[in-house]
Structure 1
Amino acid sequence: MKAMILAAGRGERMRPLTDVTPKPLLPVGGKPLIVWHLERLAAAGFKEVVINHAHLGQQIEDVLGDGSQWGIAIRYSPESSALETAGGIVNALSLLGDAPFLVVNGDVFCDVDFGGLRDCLQPDQLAYLVLVDNPPQHAHGDFALDSGKLLLDGMQRLTFSGIAVYDPTLFHGVLPGEVAKLAPLLHEAVMRGQAAACHHAGIWHDIGTPERLQRLDQELRAK
């Protein structure tokens, strides 16, 4: 299975830090945020990783190179301007191939077992999401979960972690180079009963502001 790290976002809420550094390269715990993902993916046995980028994207290529220092092969999917999540994935499908693939948001920090997601997608499913407890900044969550079945509404709503496995078929109808959001595609899959999920109760942080970045950096350095 191949993996994709989404790294094309502008990081407006992280300014002024992201005026000169792309968000995935911001340091936390002594290394760039995206490197934590690369290390975990390599440890989980992933050999091929696709990274999309837009804002200051050449910096990402310059720092990460071909991925050989982590024992993986990195290929890049540049965007002249950010295409949103679904658009970015579609733009990279020629690199990802026809089989299901793992996608990880470049601006989260987690201890999700990436290797454990390899075989989670069932033949009739188009998406398998990792959900987490609602953080303070997203108290109402995104989806409900009932015995592994993903629902749009329910008693207990959880937050989409930005980590999921997708079948390429999910993105049919989105054209390469088109700006497209992911949420409508996921909602359609949920309504058709073609999406499932799990609840990750471990470490997960959405690094959306300089304050959150600083808190996580202090936690990691304290360990």
Structure 2
Amino acid sequence: MKALVLAGGRGTRLRPLTHTSAKQLVPVANKPVLYYGLEAIRQAGITSVGIVIGDTGHEIRDAVGDGSRFGLDVTYIPQEAPLGLAHCVLIAREFLADEPFVMYLGDNFLVDGITDLVDAFRLADHDAQILLTRVAEPQFYGVAEIGPGGEILGLEEKPEHPRSDLAIVGVYIFSPAIHGAVRAITPSARGELEITDAVTWLVANGFRVHSHLVSGYWKDTGRLQDMLECNRIVLERVEPANRGTVDDLSEITGRVVVEPGAVVENSILRGPIVIGADTKILSSYVGPFTSIGSGCLVCGAEIEYSIVLDGSSVQGVSRVAHSLIGRNVEVSRAAGVSNTHELMVGDHSRIQVRA
């Protein structure tokens, strides 16, 4: 079995971060989301992986390389434009050959991996297996209707009146039958070849399409609140480790990871948190569910339930929370008139201040 990982797309919901970085490389607990997916694929016993890349392909190539660090053999498949998930299958035909394969959306996050899904497919006689999870608001997702034996009866994309609460997770397993389906369908109203249309074609033509329910936590990391929630889930599982330098004036409580080269002075760290390599935490408070990247500076500040990427600084600012701070960003207290906010903000940003 092979794997097809989709790492293109523009990540519009995470702008402005994704103007300059691939959405699949935004970190959760200081590790890119894409890495979790690649590790899950290897844990499932799959080593041959094709990665579909788009405009940010050079970043994906730099981050993943030949895949050997993950125990994988990686082939890159360029997609000229985001023309749909089924189009990714179409252009990967030569790589996939006539083997069954997992299709994994690179910005999806599954805490417990995909081994159960892959094992279930190997034991069954299905042409496709679709990963599903129950959600509170199915109208915002692709939704599946299933029969009493778990067979897929139909799929709907963001239906106004959902027939079930079962949302389609961004992981699928297909037999070679899917190649006929993606050639048979036509572009949707938005000009893309939809994988839901291809699966619907399989069902309509008598192929065996089955469901598999997610046993653990799943998120599509396309929005800020999803990234922060994934960060929380992963940090709850970290094992405490101090590989940096923490002085006697600092106080550490809970699951706290301090990476090599990091320095903590006169500060309070309340876990679970991760402090990246060569980062300095000086006279500050870092609260639960925070990950701070490498080469950062937090000085005279308070921050919690946030993600700070590499090379950024937060100085003299009280209570930063529920925030995602990009790479090489400076957050500091404004001088001059009190209660005045001084901002330089790029396109597609979101800033919230208290008057």
Partner of 2:159: none
Partner of 2:331: none
Equivalent position to 1:186, from 199, 219, 223: 199
Partner of 1:5: 5
Equivalent residue letter for 1:217: N
Cα-to-partner distance string for 1:98-119 (whole Å, 9 max, x where unaligned): 1111111111100243364155
Task: Find the residue that maps to 2:183 and give its secondary structure.
Answer: coil
In structure 2, C-alpha distance between the alignment counterparts of 1:94 and 1:118, rounded to whole Å = 25
Cα-to-partner distance string for 1:138-195 (whole Å, 9 max, x where unaligned): 56751122222112279644111111111232232629xx952211111122233421
Residue 100 of structure 1 pairs with residue 109 of structure 2? no
Partner of 1:218: 232
In structure 2, C-alpha distance between the alignment counterparts of 1:25 and 1:16, rounded to whole Å = 14
Are the aligned partners of 1:143 and 1:151 in contact in 2 as well (CA < 8 Å)?
yes
Partner of 1:127: 128
Greater helix share, 1 or 2? 1
Q: In structure 2, do the counterparts of structure 1 residues 141 and 169 end up closer, same or farther at CA, with 3 Å as the change threshold? A: closer
- Identical pairs, percent: 27
Equivalent residue letter for 2:106: G
Question: Which moved further from structure 2: 43-52 or 57-66?
Answer: 43-52
Residue 162 of structure 1 pairs with residue 170 of structure 2? yes
Task: Find the residue that maps to 2:232 and give its secondary structure.
Answer: helix
Equivalent residue letter for 2:39: E
Cα-to-partner distance string for 1:59-113 (whole Å, 9 max, x where unaligned): 1001100011111111110112222100011101211111111111111100243
Are the aligned partners of 1:140 and 1:157 in contact in 2 as well (CA < 8 Å)?
no
Partner of 1:205: 219
Are the aligned partners of 1:174 and 1:180 in contact in 2 as well (CA < 8 Å)?
no
Q: In structure 2, do the counterparts of structure 1 residues 140 and 119 end up closer, same or farther at CA, with 3 Å as the change threshold? A: closer
Equivalent residue letter for 2:219: H
Task: Find the residue that maps to 1:51 and give its secondary structure.
Answer: strand
Partner of 2:48: 48
Higher relative contact order (CA 8 A, sep 6+): 1
Equivalent position to 1:174, from 176, 183, 187: 183
Partner of 1:17: 17
Task: Find the residue that maps to 2:168 and give its secondary structure.
Answer: strand
Q: In structure 2, do the counterparts of structure 1 residues 141 and 91 end up closer, same or farther at CA, with 3 Å as the change threshold? A: closer
Task: Tell me which structure has the larger Cα radius of gyration.
Answer: 2
Structure 1 stretches of 4+ moved >6 Å? none
Shift of 1:18: 0.7
In structure 1, C-alpha distance between the alignment counterparts of 2:74 and 2:142, rounded to whole Å = 32
Partner of 2:39: 39
In structure 2, C-alpha distance between the alignment counterparts of 1:145 and 1:57, rounded to whole Å = 37
The two structures, once aligned, show a CA RMSD in angstroms of 2.4
Structure 1: 5+ residue stretches without partners: none
1:56-135 maps to which residues of 2 (within 5 A)?
Answer: 56-110=56-110, 111-114=112-115, 116-118=117-119, 120=121, 122-123=124-125, 125-134=126-135
Question: Which moved further from structure 2: 6-15 or 165-174?
Answer: 165-174
Equivalent residue letter for 1:120: F
